[in-house]
Amino acid sequence: MNWLSRFFPAQPRLTPAQAQRLAAWQALPAADLHLAHAQSRYVVVDVETSGLNLAKDHLIAIGAVAVRAGKIDLADSLEIVLQQKQASSRDNILIHGIGGTAQEEGVQPVEALLLFLAYLGKSPLIAFHVEFDETMIRRALKRKIGLDFKHPWVDLAYIAPALHPDLARRYRALDDWTNYFGIRNYARHNALADALSTAQLFLALRERMAKKTIESYKELQDLDKAQRWVNRIG
Amino acid sequence: MATAANSLIHATAEHLSSHAPFDQMEREHVLWMAQRLELGYYAKGEVVLSPEQGTADKFYVIKQGVVQGEQDVVRAQEDAAWLELHEGECFPLGALLSKRPVTGIYRARDDVFCYELPAEDFLQLTHLSAAFHDFCTRRIANLLEQSKHIIQAQYSHSSAEQQSMSSPLSAIIRREPVTCSPATPVREVLETMHALGIGSMVATDSGNRPVGIFTLHDVLNRVALAQLDLNLPVSSVMSSNLKTLPPQALAYEAALEMARHGFRHVLVTQNGGLAGIISEKDLFTLQRVGLRQISSAIRNADNLDALKQSARDIRQLAHNMMAQGVAPEQLTQIISTLNDLLTARIIELECTAADLTDSSLCHAGFCWIALGSEGRFEQTLNTDQDNGIIFLVPDGASPDQVRQTLLPVARRINEALDACGFPLCTGNIMASNPELCLSLDEWKEKFAKWIDHGDPPALLNATIFFDFRALFGLSSLAEKLRLWLAKHVEGNSRFLHQMAANALRNRPPLGLVRDFSLGDDNTLDLKLNGISPFVDAARIFSLATGGLQTGTLQRLRQAAAPLHLPPREAEAWGEAFLFIQLLRLRLHHEQIEAGLPMSNKVNPGQLNNLDRRILKEAFRQARKLQARLALNYNL
């Protein structure tokens, strides 16, 4: 029985109220990805974790801000620190600045993730280096509330070089791109501040998108895909 | 979704709070604002805001980057930014408060991120936060002056005089302000002012906050003429209508305030407390150098080339003074004074060249008269010549003989004036016209004929010729003609009635539906539609009351009492007249700068909104003035 549980982890236990919230989120209609940017709400997300190991490390904080009709809506933003049983390592704390006490006082994980879903709705997601954010969020959702999170994501780490091929070789990290556009970050490695920088980067890429007539999220996804392919063969 | 303020909202509030006016606002109000902001991006060269977008619906604060304002599309192609806005600066204020489109184009000069607040939230914020409200209304006052500021920015390239007008008031305050309590008896105030040799005294409350000002100027009206009991407290005679500016405001702002409100003093206050007084004189000393230099250059000029240079200098001076916001009344007076000097020097030189000085017709034997706007001391920069000669006829000579001697000289004078930038009169209203080079008796005869006929050409002539004044030579001749005219017209109600009817044919161009009623080319003629109603009415009032003045303002002031015109109304008419005059001066300057032919046509759509509002008000005043004229003559 014991060895089996490694393959079938215990189903997370949700209160009826929590289960209802989850069901309500699941019942939301999917976003129409063909809508124009001007009619869409995108959520730009960034996470802080206990480390960079996708297999072992876990979610500490989620920061997110909405881009609605091409503008960042500052109030439509989310910042959640997840309660940790055990604070992350000292070196890790020095990166994201969420101290041990804050981690221990954070929002209970199930609650935190349900808040995130309620905030997100079915708006498509945008991030920089999606693999990392997506993996962390998906795993947390799976483990904590049993949700199989299949959500549209677009990765600016592919979109930016696709729109600025001349810069693609030299610009790789988020900092490279934000520096290029002169975007300042009020608190680097704070999930919300990084989400804001990412959102600003997304806005700054808009001019090139317009030139390539990339007018919907769907077209962004296509561009994302194409660039991954370019990277693979290049 | 207004969530509780998270770190992003706090960081935004903090960022805002490092800039004016948000640094003055209470934290909760800045947070309130931050929670309602959007963040927008504008690529280099992209238009952030333009008149075409209609009524301004957002308040912008620059998060990063530079936004430049351009006054109009034509100029936008060149490097003609009239304002540059940097991080933390906000726009537009005037358009939002008056719920109208912006008048210029705001364009991103590099990658720009702007915080954007919806208009209704902006308005609510002005109610919530007193500090924000103050900032906006003060900025509005500045925007009201922005027409002037814009010009200042355009004109402010080199001149050192200019720089001094850009110095902060704190640098100009000459001494600690002398103050008294509002309860101080007038006698004591006058004694202190006399003892210290100061022109004004500010009454302050116990917190050193100014509550009123009493100036030497008030002594005449409110104390001496009113035979005031000197034991009364100064609060009974002081003006409590005060204009205050902070120490960091610039000298020209003070000049503009004075020009706009007709104040002679501006108080400098810091945190409500009095820090100093700036008088008109303090400001004027900043800009007088040029005036003195030019007048002495004219007096010493001994050839036409030197005078041509002086004529250019006069224009440059006018240009500078306009940029500095000198009041139009002073400005036109200064221009007139210098132009008079220049004209007089030309006449002197030509008379000497023609050897007239030695003949019996030496220049003391005739009087050069200025007509039209020059006669009214209301010359702008595109004034062509309007002049004539009144001469004495020596015993044994005929008027024709004198005329034949004078005409060639007059011709040369007219040409010299033309060379100095006063174009020859296309209507030939010039001293070299034999019809206008007349003896005193011939002039009287001419005027009498017009007054008797009262037909349209005669009425038109009256509007030009009845504004004559002596400019050079035997001024007693002009005075005699003036007295004769005053006596001749004053009792002639039929002629005055005809003049009034004629004047009322020219209505101010105010529309019923839209702001202005415009011609086919969408323009207003500032001279015909703007100035003329005032000038014409003032002339009639003056003639009707035996006035001897020629200036429109002087005429209105003189006629106010005998005609029982309410002083406040007469004052408002004067201000309206001056504002239109200022617009004309500016228009001409812009035309000179652009190398365009000068005209009085202005497209109100291209004026900035505030000027447009004032212009509309000025036209309303013209309408009131005409109503008064109609009333007086049963028209």
CB contact under 8 A, B46 and A207: yes
Q: Among the residues of B73-201, which ranges form H helices? A: 73-76, 94-97, 119-128, 130-144, 146-155, 160-165, 186-196
Residues B507 and B621 grouped into a single domain: yes
CB contact under 8 A, A77 and B8: yes
- pLDDT in the model for residue B225: 81
Query: Higher pLDDT residue, A194 or B454?
Result: A194
CA B454 to chain centre: 34
Nearest CA in chain B to A192: B8
Considering only CB atoms, which chain A residues are within 8 Å of B34? 74-75
Say which range, B37-46, B57-66, B191-200, has the weakest mean pLDDT.
B191-200
Q: Does residue A28 lie within any of the structural domains?
A: no
B 59-78 residues inside an 8 A Cβ radius of A: 64-65
Buried b or exposed e, range B493-530, using 16+ CB within 10 angstroms: eebbbbbbebbbeeebbeeeeeebebeeeebbbbbebb
Which contacts qualify for B239-246: CB closer than 8 Å, 24 or more apart? Answer: B239/B212, B239/B213, B239/B214, B239/B215, B240/B211, B240/B212, B242/B210, B242/B211, B242/B212, B242/B213, B242/B267, B243/B267, B244/B210, B244/B268, B244/B269, B245/B169, B245/B269, B245/B278, B246/B169, B246/B270
Residues B83 and B57 grouped into a single domain: yes
Q: Is B185 helix (H, G, I), strand (E, B) or coil?
A: strand
- pLDDT in the model for residue B527: 86
* CATH number for the domain harbouring residue B72: 2.60.120.10
- CA distances to B191, B203, B286, B491, B541 from B485, in Å: 47, 49, 42, 11, 14
CB contact at 8 A, B400 and B439: no
CB contact under 8 A, A200 and B2: no
CB contact under 8 A, B116 and A71: yes
Q: Which domain holds residue A127?
A: 37-233
Give the nearest partner residue to B6 out of A77, A182, A183, using CB atoms.
Answer: A77
**What does residue B538 show for φ and ψ, rounded to 5 degrees?**
-65, -40
Q: How far is B134 from chain A (nearest CA, A)?
A: 26
Nearest CA in chain A to B35: A75
Taking 80 as the threshold, does the pLDDT of residue B258 lie above it? no
Q: How far is B31 from chain A (nearest CA, A)?
A: 10
* CATH number for the domain harbouring residue B605: 1.20.120
Residues B258 and B373 grouped into a single domain: no
Q: How far is A94 from chain B (nearest CA, A)?
A: 18
- pLDDT in the model for residue B293: 66
Considering only CB atoms, which chain B residues are within 8 Å of A204? 41, 43, 111
CB contact under 8 A, B1 and A76: yes
B 17-46 residues inside an 8 A Cβ radius of A: 34-41, 43, 46
Q: Does residue B436 lie within any of the structural domains?
A: yes
Q: Does residue B114 lie within any of the structural domains?
A: yes
Give the nearest partner residue to B7 out of A68, A79, A204, using CB atoms.
Answer: A79
Q: Does residue A142 lie within any of the structural domains?
A: yes
Q: Does A65 touch chain B (CB under 8 A)?
A: yes
pLDDT tens column, B496-518: 999 999 999 888 777 644 456 66
Considering only CB atoms, which chain A residues are within 8 Å of B116? 71
Query: Higher pLDDT residue, B482 or B265?
Result: B482
Q: Does A57 touch chain B (CB under 8 A)?
A: no
Q: Average pLDDT in the A18-30 region?
A: 94
Q: Does residue B47 lie within any of the structural domains?
A: yes
The sign one gets for the Cα dihedral B56, B59, B64, B69 is positive
Say which range, B134-143, B255-264, B540-549, has the weakest mean pLDDT.
B134-143
- CA-closest candidate to residue B534, choices B620, B599, B598: B620
- pLDDT in the model for residue B24: 79
Nearest CA in chain B to A193: B8
Q: Does residue A5 lie within any of the structural domains?
A: no
CB contact under 8 A, B39 and A72: yes
Considering only CB atoms, which chain B residues are within 8 Å of A119? 1
Which residue is associated with the tokens 């004067």? B574
Q: Among the residues of A100-216, which ranges form H helices? A: 100-104, 109-120, 130-145, 156-163, 174-180, 191-204, 206-211
Q: Average pLDDT in the B469-491 region?
A: 91
Considering only CB atoms, which chain B residues are within 8 Å of A65? 8
- pLDDT in the model for residue B140: 38
CB contact at 8 A, A125 and A154: yes
**Bond before B434 cis per omega within 30 degrees:** no
Q: Does residue B317 lie within any of the structural domains?
A: no
Edge-to-edge strand list for the sheet holding A59-68: A153-155, A125-127, A41-49, A59-68, A71-81, B38-42, B112-118, B58-64, B90-91
Q: Does residue A27 lie within any of the structural domains?
A: no
Q: How far is B91 from chain A (nearest CA, A)?
A: 18
Residues B466 and B398 grouped into a single domain: yes
Q: What is the pTM of this model?
A: 0.47
Taking 80 as the threshold, does the pLDDT of residue B519 lie above it? no
CA dist B202 and B219 (Å) reads 14
Neighbour count for residue B392 (Cβ, 10 Å): 19
Q: Does residue B365 lie within any of the structural domains?
A: yes
Last residue of a domain, one of B144, B173, B191: B144
- pLDDT in the model for residue B360: 53
Provide, rounded to the nearest whole percent, the portion of chain B with pLDDT above 70.
Answer: 84
* CATH number for the domain harbouring residue A196: 3.30.420.10
Considering only CB atoms, which chain B residues are within 8 Å of A190? 7
Considering only CB atoms, which chain B residues are within 8 Å of A66? 1
pLDDT tens column, B398-427: 899 889 989 999 999 999 999 998 889 888
Please give the tally of structural domains in chain A.
Answer: 1
Q: Does residue A62 lie within any of the structural domains?
A: yes
Q: Does residue A22 lie within any of the structural domains?
A: no
Q: Which domain holds residue B534?
A: 502-632
- pLDDT in the model for residue B508: 79
Q: Is B372 helix (H, G, I), strand (E, B) or coil?
A: helix
CA B387 to chain centre: 25
Taking 70 as the threshold, does the pLDDT of residue B100 lie above it? yes
Taking 60 as the threshold, does the pLDDT of residue B81 lie above it? no
- pLDDT in the model for residue B163: 41
Q: Does B88 touch chain A (CB under 8 A)?
A: no
pLDDT tens column, A45-71: 999 888 777 777 788 899 999 999 999
CB contact at 8 A, B19 and B34: no
* ipTM metric: 0.84
Residues B363 and B485 grouped into a single domain: yes
Which residue is associated with the tokens 């009201």? B144
CA dist B239 and B189 (Å) reads 14
CB contact at 8 A, B235 and B242: no
Residues B45 and B177 grouped into a single domain: no
- pLDDT in the model for residue B383: 74
CB contact under 8 A, B43 and A206: yes
pLDDT tens column, B203-236: 999 888 999 999 888 888 788 888 888 899 999 8
Out of A10-24, A116-130, B272-286, B370-384, give the one with best mean pLDDT.
A116-130
Give the nearest partner residue to A74 out of B37, B41, B110, using CB atoms.
Answer: B37
Query: Higher pLDDT residue, B287 or A147?
Result: A147
Q: Which residues contact A65 (CB under 8 A, 6 or more apart)?
A: A43, A44, A72, A73, A74, A76, A77, A78, A192, A195, A196, A199, B8
pLDDT tens column, A180-210: 998 988 777 788 999 999 999 999 998 899 8
Say which range, A34-48, A151-165, B456-470, B618-632, has the weakest mean pLDDT.
B618-632
CB contact under 8 A, B39 and A206: no
Q: Does B4 touch chain A (CB under 8 A)?
A: no
CB contact under 8 A, A73 and B43: no
Q: Does residue B149 lie within any of the structural domains?
A: no
Residues B224 and B335 grouped into a single domain: no
Residues B127 and B241 grouped into a single domain: no
Residues B88 and B136 grouped into a single domain: yes
Last residue of a domain, one of B490, B511, B529: B490
Neighbour count for residue B139 (Cβ, 10 Å): 18
CB contact at 8 A, A154 and A129: no
- CA-closest candidate to residue B618, choices B567, B556, B562, B576: B576
Give the pair of three-digit tokens for residue B319. 């240009």
Q: Strands (DSSP E) along A21-163, which ranges?
A: 41-49, 59-68, 71-81, 125-127, 153-155
Q: Does residue B532 lie within any of the structural domains?
A: yes
Considering only CB atoms, which chain A residues are within 8 Å of B46? 207
Residues B190 and B337 grouped into a single domain: no
pLDDT tens column, B140-198: 344 334 444 444 444 443 333 444 566 678 777 777 888 999 999 999 999 998 888 88
Neighbour count for residue B468 (Cβ, 10 Å): 26
Q: How far is B13 from chain A (nearest CA, A)?
A: 11
C-alpha angle B123-B125-B129 in degrees, rounded to nearest 5: 135
Question: Per this entry, what is the length of chain B?
Answer: 635
Q: Average pLDDT in the B571-590 region?
A: 83
Please give the tally of structural domains in chain B.
Answer: 4
Q: Average pLDDT in the A1-12 region?
A: 55
CB contact under 8 A, B12 and A200: no
Q: Average pLDDT in the B42-58 region?
A: 91
Taking 70 as the threshold, does the pLDDT of residue B285 lie above it? no
At B446, the pLDDT band (50, 70, 90 cuts) reads: very high
Residues B134 and B273 grouped into a single domain: no
CB contact under 8 A, B39 and A200: yes
At B597, the pLDDT band (50, 70, 90 cuts) reads: confident
At A6, the pLDDT band (50, 70, 90 cuts) reads: low
Taking 80 as the threshold, does the pLDDT of residue B396 lie above it? yes
- CA-closest candidate to residue B577, choices B376, B387, B422: B376
At B58, the pLDDT band (50, 70, 90 cuts) reads: very high
Give the pair of three-digit tokens for residue A36. 């124009």
pLDDT tens column, A114-163: 999 999 999 999 999 999 999 999 999 998 899 999 999 999 999 999 99
HSE (side-chain half, CA atoms, 13 Å) at A66? 22
Residues B253 and B183 grouped into a single domain: yes
At B289, the pLDDT band (50, 70, 90 cuts) reads: very low
At A8, the pLDDT band (50, 70, 90 cuts) reads: low
